[in-house]
């Protein structure tokens, strides 16, 4: 194993491990769900869902790690979570031979480009805003399908670099848009179209994370403590 493999291998394994149990996906899906639900209500009820959305967006990593302390770490051990300011490291070396007990190795300065990451997120944010504004401003059911394809493109560009989503999500979100376009729900306010789309995406993402979590829990039961 060369020196670059030794440097990137443990970090890549730690990054993969963070998403292995599906909990980051579930938490992110809940944020999408709460954000969508906040568009359906006014007054006090909206003040319930929108703050939940904000908390998940701002504290996604901390919430995920708190849940991992009770589900993941007792089963397969602890590693430091990936930094939110860096891309996923490239896969290198024999990852199956690496231990999760060790802390991830320091990341080389050349391995990530924070400026590139910022530009990428800014471009994707603009694309997402156009999709959402289209749903809000254009009372045409076809905009659901346009939003679904746009969101799928965004997630495809982020996948394996910033998040780890299955093709069930990336391929399913356009289908959510198409389904909403065909069975266009009645809305009282234009903003509710955004709510329907976000709720549909949130349910799909949560389902994907829940399947991953169930598979993880099945494969990794908590070790029983021998009786003294």
Q: What is the pLDDT along the chain (228 residues), one digit of tens a residue?
A: 444 444 456 667 777 888 899 999 999 999 999 988 988 876 667 778 888 888 898 888 899 999 999 999 999 888 777 765 555 665 544 333 333 333 433 443 434 456 666 676 666 667 777 777 788 788 889 999 999 998 898 888 888 777 788 999 999 999 999 999 999 888 888 888 989 999 999 999 999 999 999 999 999 887 665 545
Number of residues that this document lists for the chain: 228
Q: Quick count: other Cβ atoms within 10 Å of Cβ 88?
A: 19
Count CA atoms within 13 Å of residue 173 on its CB side: 26
**CA–CA separation, 215 and 220 (whole Å):** 9
pLDDT of residue 69: 92
**CA–CA separation, 169 and 108 (whole Å):** 32
Are the C-beta atoms of 86 and 112 separated by less than 8 Å? yes
Q: Which residue has the tokens 């549909």?
A: 200
Spell out the residues 6+ positions from residue 176 whose beta carbon is closer than 8 angstroms to its own.
Answer: 144, 148, 197, 200, 201, 204
pLDDT of residue 106: 41
Structure tokens at 15: 């990054």
Q: Where along the chain do its domains lie?
A: 3-219
pLDDT of residue 182: 94
Does the pTM surpass 0.85? The reply is no
Helices (H), the chain: 3-20, 23-37, 46-58, 60-71, 73-76, 114-137, 142-158, 167-182, 191-219
pLDDT of residue 64: 93
Structure tokens at 139: 């009372």
pLDDT of residue 43: 64
pLDDT of residue 83: 64
């Amino acid at each position: 194993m060369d020196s670059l493999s030794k440097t990137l291998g443990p970090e890549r394994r730690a990054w993969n491990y963070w998403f292995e149990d599906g909990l980051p996906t579930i938490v992110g899906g809940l944020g999408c769900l709460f954000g969508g639900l906040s568009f359906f209500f006014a007054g006090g009820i909206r003040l319930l869902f929108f703050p939940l959305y904000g908390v998940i967006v701002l504290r996604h990593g901390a919430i995920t790690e708190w849940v991992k302390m009770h589900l993941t770490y007792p089963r397969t051990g602890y590693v430091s979570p990936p930094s939110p300011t860096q891309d996923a490291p490239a896969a290198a070396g024999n990852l199956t031979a690496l231990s999760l007990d060790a802390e991830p190795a320091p990341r080389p300065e050349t391995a990530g480009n924070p400026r590139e990451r910022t530009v990428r997120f800014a471009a994707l944010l603009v694309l997402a805003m156009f999709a959402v504004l289209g749903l809000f401003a254009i009372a045409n059911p076809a905009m659901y399908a346009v939003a679904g394809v746009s969101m799928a493109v965004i997630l495809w560009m982020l996948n394996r670099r910033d998040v780890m989503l299955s093709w069930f999500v990336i391929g399913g979100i356009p289908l959510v848009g198409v389904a909403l376009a065909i069975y266009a729900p009645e809305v009282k306010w234009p903003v509710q179209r955004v709510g329907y789309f976000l709720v549909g995406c949130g349910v799909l993402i949560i389902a994907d994370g829940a399947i991953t979590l169930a598979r993880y829990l099945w494969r990794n039961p908590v070790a029983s403590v021998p009786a003294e």
